[in-house]
Amino acid sequence: MIRNADTSEDSALKQIEILRNMGLSGRAEMTFQLCENLRQITKAGIRHRHPDYSGKQVTQAYLRLILEEELFQQVFPGCETKP
């Protein structure tokens, strides 16, 4: 079994058991929640670096991080907002 170096074998087995018992919908819900948490953490970092940014600018900076630059420029031509 593959596991992280900082996780005991018993803990890793328990984690697998819990994930299996959650079922597909439970694991999907957890995945979506983790994605939302990551979005919020990333936006908080942008706000920390740029306290003067409006909500719109924070969203633009976030999108600039996750989109390829060419696509970002198609959506926001000439936008100077930096992450």
Q: Do the domain assignments include residue 38?
A: yes
In order along its 83 residues, the chain shows pLDDT tens digits of 566 778 888 888 898 899 999 999 999 999 999 999 999 999 999 999 999 999 999 999 999 999 999 999 999 999 999 99
Q: Do the domain assignments include residue 52?
A: yes
Tokens of 32: 């979506």
Domain range enclosing 18: 9-75
Query: What is the C-alpha end-to-end distance of the chain, expressed in Å?
Result: 39
pTM over cut 0.85:
no
Q: Do the domain assignments include residue 80?
A: no
Quick one: CA torsion of 52, 55, 56, 58, rounded to 10 degrees?
Answer: 70
Domain count for the chain, please give it: 1
Q: Which long-range contacts (CB under 8 A, 24 or more apart) does 43-46 make?
A: 46/83
